[in-house]
Amino acid sequence: MDIHKPKPWHSLREFLKEYGIIVLGVLTALGFEQAVEAVHRHEIAEQARRDVREEAAINLAFLKARLRESPCIAQRLDEIGTLLQQTGAQPLGARPIWVGRPLQLPAFTERWRAVTSSARTELFPSAEQGGFDNLYNIFQQFEDEEKLEQVAWTDLKLLERWQGPLDSAARVVVLRALEQARHSDYELRAIGFYALGIAHQGRLAANPRFGPLTGAPDAVCLPFNTPAETARRQLRDRVPDPD
């Protein structure tokens, strides 16, 4: 076996040449490793960004569907207020009363939680990370307010089944629910339009494939004097509202 012994350097020039070859090789290897790592980090960031944007687009679709109901909600609340003023201590009347309720659509946060818990948001630019933080905080506020709204409308739906006049206790319940429903509608509109503004800045649009059942009217948009059975048939609910 031939063993090649290192040759001694005969000049500074030879030494610098050999040294340069070694340094260049090390730097090339390090540069290649860093380039591979950078590509890998970029791919992780892009996948995380796609996941979060897709999830946020679904939430925005649900949010916009709720905002589209606001004119019907305002009209229904006015109708309930007028009914209470006109009847006073008298019976509510024999005609059907359909109250309905606004949509309650979920806010999905699983992908955002997965990205933040794994620290992949650190791969986003700070402005983008801050935008997503704000947007998901708003989604949570929206969902919390929706829950308060649904409680209020559950009380308002007592009018659909109430027989005879409203006693003082029942009137207090309905009036309190009416004010809570009005306040929640205001809060949801304010929160919703703010969220849409943030989404617009981030060039994020609602996913049109998500929302309420296509072709079915919103429950709160049906006429106030719609019989309950007619309303449920038009709504095509697979699981009818139990209230």
* pLDDT per residue as tens digits for the range 183-235: 999 999 999 999 999 999 989 999 988 776 556 788 999 999 999 888 888 88
- What's 121's DSSP letter? G
- Tell me how crowded residue 17 is: count the other CB atoms within 10 A of its CB: 12
Under the banding of pLDDT at 50, 70 and 90, the label for residue 161 is confident
Sign for the CA dihedral angle at 210, 213, 216, 221 comes to: negative
For residue range 105-115, list pLDDT tens digits in order: 888 999 988 88
Euclidean distance between CA atoms 157 and 160, whole angstroms: 5
212 in Cβ contact with 103 (< 8 Å): yes
